[in-house]
Amino acid sequence: MATVKRAPRAPAAKAEPPAESVAEAATPGTNIVVHLSVPDRRAAARDVRTLLARIGGKSLGPESASTMLLVVPRSGYAELTRGLAQIGSWQLESDPGSLPDPVQVAVRLAK
């Protein structure tokens, strides 16, 4: 019988870390979770920070690689959503219906 040589296996592709679930992205007190699809997360995070400064909002705590926690005045929420639409394609993952003042928003950045 002839011995069959097998080609060496290619190393398995490294799996990307799992995306945060809505529950992980939404800290206690978060009112809205937004999924923002962008080509460049770093550029998008910079653009979101610029948008926050313009509408009088602020970022809460350190940013993870994929989630930004924001606080914006209720009066600036409509401008936040318009600005996010200019940065990338977005969709609400959770929406409380009525908005408190201020509004806490978790923005999940994804490619």
Contact 3, 50 (CB under 8 A): no
pLDDT band at 10, cuts 50/70/90? Answer: very low
Look-up: residue for tokens 């937004």?
A: 34
- 72-94 burial code (b ≥16 CB/10 A, e <16): beeebbebbeebbeebbebeeee
CA end-to-end span of the chain = 52
> Could you tell me which residues are beta bridge partners of residue 105?
32, 70
pLDDT tens, residue by residue, 62-77: 777 689 999 999 999 9
Distances (CA, A) of 19 to 1, 5, 7, 107: 50, 40, 34, 13
Kindly report the pTM of this predicted structure: 0.73
pLDDT tens, residue by residue, 20-61: 443 444 567 889 999 999 999 999 999 999 999 999 999 987
pLDDT of the residue at 25: 46
